[in-house]
Structure 1
Amino acid sequence: MNLALRALRLLLALATAAGLAVDAYVHADFAPSFDPVGRGGLTEGELFRAEAAAAALAALLLLLFFRHRFAWLVAFLVAGAGVAAVLVYTHVDVGALGPIPDMYDPTWYTEKTVSAIAEGAAAVTAGIGLCLAVLLHRRSRAAEAAGDAADSGGAGSAGGADQAAY
């Protein structure tokens, strides 16, 4: 893989991890103030702590394993779910869903805005990183298949054609 793609993948991983870190910080910081919301089931504070933990874990996973598609997928899902949740619960009064409390909050304040922007940016960069990881994986598999076909007699021979079909 050339140097430009390596640099791009690393920059995407750092940008995604930074967005997830902001998400984790804001949710962990706000969790205690939302503990009273949601009596009888989960509290909003507990959900905020779960989001903070998921975002922190996804950021760490991506920083350690940014060459793997799975790490990108986890980062994309966590960031995408976070931005989707904040947008839905800002614009739609969903109400309580089973043990999940009513989290409708139509107001935008600085921390909520910062978190939504960070989650959105992380979702976009993770999506690009995931696409890049999938393309690079396919490219390496194709190169391996071409190398295997060449090792088994070349693409022009009957043995190479049979090998390429599998």
Structure 2
Amino acid sequence: MDNPNIDVITTFHGSSIGKYEWRNDSLICELSKEPIVHADYEIHNYNLHFILGIKNKSETVQSFQIIIKTDNKAVKPSTIYTSDSFDNISIPNPSPVKHIDEGYSFKITLDPLTKQYTSNTIWSSCELVEGEFIQLCNNSDMKAIKYGVTFDNHPLTA
């Protein structure tokens, strides 16, 4: 069952969420299933975080619970971060995070006709970081050196 007042937004660069469904007034989400990355002599598990957008299509305030389903090994955060832009998600959500048997939950409140991006990590998009890095190089006596590319072909620059 869908919520006629709320759209879940997953079509932006950086979006990361698995399957989701509405149950009454709760949005139930699974973490995405991404491959484990072996790089830099480290194991990078990106199956622990989520980033999603939510749009209130109605002309009234909408409040609802989001439940993130996790296994017992996943870290359960103490803070959820939000923003009205997907480029920089860093504002702590005022709702407390509740640790529950199936994962964790938190409340979201959206003003009429607004969008909010939500994550369990502080998030800055590659485009934002790259732009700030280029601006820093242009405004100082630094030189950017491209030394490779990431798994998904983003330039690696120092």
User: Which of the five TM-score ranges fits, normalised by the shorter chain?
Assistant: under 0.3
- Superposition TM-score, scaled by structure 2 size: 0.26
Greater fraction of residues in helix: 1
- Superposition TM-score, scaled by structure 1 size: 0.26
Instruction: Compare relative contact order (CA 8 Å, sep 6+) and give the higher one, 1 or 2.
Output: 1
Larger radius of gyration: 1
